[in-house]
Amino acid sequence: MSKERVLITGAAGFLGSHLCERFLKEGYHVIGMDNLITGDLRNLAHLNGKENFTFLHHDVTNFTHVSGRLDHILHFASPASPIDYLRIPIQTLKVGSIGIHRLLGLAKDKGARITIASTSEVYGDPEVHPQTEEYWGSVNPVGPRGVYDEAKRFQEAITTAYHTYHGVETRIARIFNTYGPRMRLNDGRALPAFIGQSLRGENITVFGDGSQTRSFCYVDELIEGIYKLHFSEETRPVNLGNPVEITILDFAKEVLKLTGANVKIVHKDLPTDDPNKRRPDITRAKEVLNWAPTIDRAEGLKRTFEYFRALSKEDLHKNEHKDFAAYIKK
């Protein structure tokens, strides 16, 4: 019997590359797809030449077809950091609307089960804490972050519609802050920014007074949660994240202690619509998936620091991670 085949979009990204590894480990034939707007082929270099791995350089907002059998789709293609979606807002909206429409049509045609990467950003700047799946959110649709938040909210809506009206097998993962190896160093998110600044001997930048909170989940555990969700019977959205909450200022202090860097913490103005708090209620994930994170932040940070410390001096000192000029059509 031939191996089941899985399509993973955003395969050259942070989460996508880890998903490729997991499905290969489980014996699937993996088709990784990415247009490389934010992804990096180096994240997949160790998979090159593997018999059951194929890479397709393709933009899912264009017509998307995979020949032959296709059993599973995981849609993880999207810019995911504020620096990215503030610079390529239209591309961010398109991959969460046109892109998911293409893939839902493909899933319907192939009879494949599809899991989408949604986000805690659908909750916006939440007025309910911690956030449960029943909370509808508090999002500014025309704010600078709205392009990402609303793309993901639409993605959930059209995915649910395809499940309801076409009977497509769908799963929705609402992913909270995740960290670990293969994060982009200069994508603007707190953890890589703090570690990168420490390694370069720069002061650590905290936006606002640092009282805003986040909850950080180590990537290996998040991948386990996504894998369990995909093969579960749960069609409702499921929060996946670590419910242990910390202020950004305290988080910066933890990173500083870990790296031992002789630098200071400096404060800058808080970006527009930056959420004040973020913490998942993972009751549903515990009950339905029997899933909960177990790796504590100290251990996860240590593993992540080792990854960044091994980067070349050139990569460590890059000011710009990506040049989006070729992707912006005027």
- Kindly list the domain boundaries of the chain, sorted by start residue: 5-323
With bands split at pLDDT 50, 70 and 90, how would you rate the model's confidence at 82?
confident
- Cα 186 to Cα 112: distance, rounded to the nearest angstrom: 35
The predicted pLDDT at position 53 comes to: 98
Alpha-carbon distance 259 to 252, whole Å?
A: 11
Question: What integer pLDDT is reported at residue 319 of this predicted model?
Answer: 67
**Residue 187: predicted pLDDT:** 86
Q: Cα(114)–Cα(74) distance, rounded to whole angstroms?
A: 6
Please count the other Cβ atoms lying within 10 Å of the Cβ belonging to residue 274: 15
Q: Can you tell me the mean pLDDT for 257-279? A: 93
pLDDT beyond 60 at 88:
yes
* 17-21, 81-85, 206-210: least confidently modelled range: 81-85
Query: What's the token pair of residue 229?
Result: 């969700």
* CA 251 to the chain's CA centroid: 20
Among 107-111, 187-191, 236-240, 270-274, the minimum mean pLDDT is found in 270-274
What pLDDT, on a 0 to 100 scale, did the predictor assign at position 271? 87
pLDDT (0 to 100) of residue 196:
94
Catalytic machinery residues? 148
pLDDT tens column, 121-132: 999 999 999 999
Which one-letter DSSP state was computed for residue 96?
I
Mean pLDDT of 215-234: 98
pLDDT at 274: 85
Pick the CATH number of 5-323 from 3.40.50.300, 3.40.50.720, 3.40.720.10, 3.20.20.60: 3.40.50.720
* Of 175, 34, 183, 177, residue with least CA distance to 118: 175
- Whole-model pTM: value is 0.96
Enumerate residues 6+ apart whose C-beta is below 8 A from 307: 180, 181, 182
Question: If you search the block for the tokens 């091994």, which residue do you land on?
Answer: 310
Q: Is the pLDDT of residue 222 over 70?
A: yes
In this prediction, residue 321 carries a pLDDT of 59
Question: What is the three-state SS of 10-43?
Answer: CCCCHHHHHHHHHHHHCCCEEEEEECCCCCCHHH
Mean pLDDT of the chain: 95
Confidence check: pLDDT of 1 > 70: no
Residue 218 has pLDDT above 70, yes or no: yes
Q: What is the pLDDT of residue 225?
A: 98
Instruction: Find out whether 47 and 74 touch, Cβ atoms under 8 Å.
Output: no
Q: How many DSSP H helices and E strands does the chain contain?
A: 11, 13
pLDDT at 329: 67
- pLDDT exceeds cutoff 80 at 35: yes
Give the pLDDT of residue 320: 65
Query: Where does the pLDDT of residue 323 fall: very low under 50, low under 70, confident under 90, or very high at 90 and above?
Result: confident
Mean pLDDT throughout 272-297?
A: 95
What is the arithmetic mean of pLDDT over 258-264? 95
pLDDT value, residue 148: 95
Alpha carbon 246 to chain centroid, angstroms? 20
For 130, residues 6+ apart whose C-beta sits below 8 A from its C-beta are 243, 245, 279, 280, 281
Mean pLDDT of 151-165: 98
Instruction: Spell out the residues 6+ positions from residue 329 whose beta carbon is closer than 8 angstroms to its own.
Output: none
* Nearest Cα residue to 139 out of 116, 155, 121, 160: 121
For residues 186-199, average pLDDT: 92
Alpha helices by DSSP H, the chain? 14-25, 82-87, 89-94, 100-110, 146-166, 190-200, 219-230, 248-259, 283-284, 297-309, 313-316
Residue 206 and residue 52: Cα distance in Å, rounded?
43
